[in-house]
Chains A and B, each alone.
Chain A
Amino acid sequence: MVEVKNICKSFEGRPVLNNINARFQTGKTNLIIGQSGSGKTVLLKSIIGLLRPESGQVLYDGTDILSLRKRELDMLRRKTGMLFQGAALFDSMTVLENVMFPLQMISTDSYSQKKKRAEFCLDRVNLTDAEHLYPSEISGGMMKRAGIARAIALNPQYLLCDEPNSGLDPKTSLLIDDLISDITKEYNMTTIINTHDMNSVLNIGETIIFIREGILEWQGSSKEIMTSGNQALNDFVFASDAFRQIRELRTSH
């Protein structure tokens, strides 16, 4: 379980996160939703320690990462995988080399074991055919899948995904969502996903927190989101007619 307590973060005096408290549960897909610019990425980066909040705690199964020394933080990060918004694949390396990279840098296994592990991960995301291609030669959906393969290479306990289906078509989005959700169950990971895609919310959202202008506005499950009376949440979630109709269908039974 990952828990954030009283997180505050500002840039040049401008508050971006204001006293966020939330729990992200093990074996579940935990969603952070909110409009663009609401502070989702900043929260995710604070959770993984790429940004340092001014105050608060980030507890990984009880360990506060903000109090860790560099070395201990590195050790914890090896148990954490992250999928970045643009996939952040190393563009000088092939897909296979990308997935091998964390293994090469961290693992003490033999080369053939590392290669086997990388190939296993690529197979898991159905990308074996593309392993010798460079990131510039593959589609956005394939990049995301390669990013997932790289994130799970070291067998992490925690998986963080920043807008895993931004820039993807609806069908590919669904595929990526399902992949993340399946992997979460398979390895019993604590998965935290940033998204503003309502399809994902209904599809894989198990626990959901809604952030608006850096303030935690609402939290609950995907069932509760349908019946919530929170005005800001409803304005965000049911901005489109389609989702309003889905709510009516679901709540009428």
Chain B
Amino acid sequence: MRNALHRLGQYTLLMSKTWTTPTKWSMFLRQLLREIYKLGADSLWIVIIISLFIGTVIAIQISLNISSDLIPKFTIGYTTREIILLEFSSSIMCLILAGKVGSNIASEIGTMRVTEQIDAMEIMGVNSANFLILPKITGLMLFIPVLVVFSMFLGILGGIGASYADINGMTPASFIYGLQFYFNAYYITYSIIKSVVYAFIISSIASYFGYHVHGGALEVGKASTNSVVMSSVMILLADVILTHIMLT
């Protein structure tokens, strides 16, 4: 418990050191673009593949489970859409990104810590937290929502693809009708807002674990694993809280 409070204190201090105006905007913008590019390069393929496949599988599984003639077939498209828009593309996708992107961030910053690169910045009179962490946090908060919207499209595309397989009488026409049935645009807003919060959780927690590494390569590895566990738990917690606030 004391340890948890200590960590919370350290995290808060690090965030206050991070959220200051960059000394050199040109350097900040350069770093920001670099982070966004890296995030895109790191995660685009994962997002594409996972979204397409999960969208397909969700549609197939729902159609397999709805065999009763009493339930209209468009329910398949409707349910697939709800799952993807509400939960999959935001929460599940960000859990996956926490593993991929979060561990990258923690090990990058952790390596800089143990090889004294962070010390080198500090003795130049540069705010290392601001220089290293702020572009990562803002980069993720800007770009993860884009990935999430992209994942929604791809997931639904995967579902449409599955509807051509003609399982249990599911047709593309009924699927697409289901997709439009009772469509609520607020769900997209809800997911985007969630993903911005998740992006902050992933990047700030990974940065925190990396920034406070002591020791060597072994500790960097541990910090990176710990950061993934911690940010996953926090994402799930945030999911419950945000859903309660925004949907009930």
Contacts and interface: CB of A to CB of B under 8 A. Distances in A.
A50 B117 contact: no
A152 to B, nearest CB: 12
Given A49-B123, A86-B116, A105-B124, 8 more contacts: A45-B119, A74-B125, A78-B125, A82-B120, A88-B117, A104-B24, A106-B125, A106-B126
Interface string A83-106: 011101111000000000110111
Interface residues of B, number: 16
B222 to A, nearest CB: 19
A82 B27 CA distance: 22
Contact of B125 (A77, A88, A91): A77
B88 interface: no
Nearest to A153: B124
A48 interface: yes
Interface of A: 45, 48-50, 73-75, 77-78, 80, 82, 84-86, 88-91, 101-102, 104-106, 150, 154
Contacts of A101: 124
A133 B122 CA distance: 24
B125 A48 contact: no
Interface of B: 23-24, 27, 111-112, 115-117, 119-120, 122-126, 131
A97 B126 CA distance: 15
A84 B125 contact: no
A84 B119 contact: yes
Contacts, number: 53
B27 A84 contact: no
Contacts of A74: 125
Contact of B116 (A85, A105, A154): A85
Contacts of A90: 112, 117, 120
Contacts of B27: 104-105
Nearest to A41: B116
A91 B126 contact: no
Nearest to B108: A92
Nearest to A49: B123
A84 B125 CA distance: 16
Contact of B123 (A50, A75, A104): A50
Contact of B24 (A89, A91, A105): A105
A48 B121 CA distance: 12
